[in-house]
Amino acid sequence: MGVSSKIHTKSSEPATSPGAASSSSASLGPTQPAASGALQIGGRAPAIRSGDFDLGKLRGKRVVIFFYPKSDTPGCTKEACEFRDASKQFAKANAEIVGISPDKSEAQQKFAAKYTLPFTFVPDPDHSIAEAYGVWKEKSMYGRKYMGIERSTFVIGADGKVEKIFSKVKPEGHAAQVLEALAGQ
């Protein structure tokens, strides 16, 4: 049996065909923190509504939201494949995995198909979700400064509150770290 990934687009209508995307932004709801505010453990997670994805509909389950910079790049592939390889263990822990990147839906869909990634992806090309979670940051490479995703993961509890924050994540071994945190909660 093949595994399919769910790609959610940033429109008020669910995607009707694979790779369908819209340029409108996701709704973050009234729980969006101020731009300078940082999420805190125990605080309410910002709402995410994008296409047919609604974080609020996952109430009662724990949600692992991993923010990654770009689909189908070495580090992001390593991280996503580790989550894929541990997906049954996450399911046993009653945790849903959600990947968010600034990629368009089409890029996420190709990435998911290429590596048989069985979890939900939410495109964030206008980085509004990343900003709400405080992971859209200034970065530097070879002396050039630019804005981008700081690889981070959030564990959202069944009650919608932030249980754990992993910042500046190293891809290798990260899924195991998150599973360990789920087991310890």
Task: Please say if 81 is a catalytic residue.
Answer: no
| Cα 131 from chain centre | 13
Separation of alpha carbons 13 and 38, rounded Å? 30
Which letter does DSSP use for residue 27 in this model?
B
Integer angstrom CA distances of residue 108 from 3, 34, 37, 43, 71? 15, 28, 28, 29, 6
Token pair of 111 as six digits: 């990435």
Residues 6+ apart with CB under 8 A from 57: none
Exactly one of 15, 21, 65, 76 is catalytic; which is it?
76
Which sequence positions are flagged as catalytic? 76
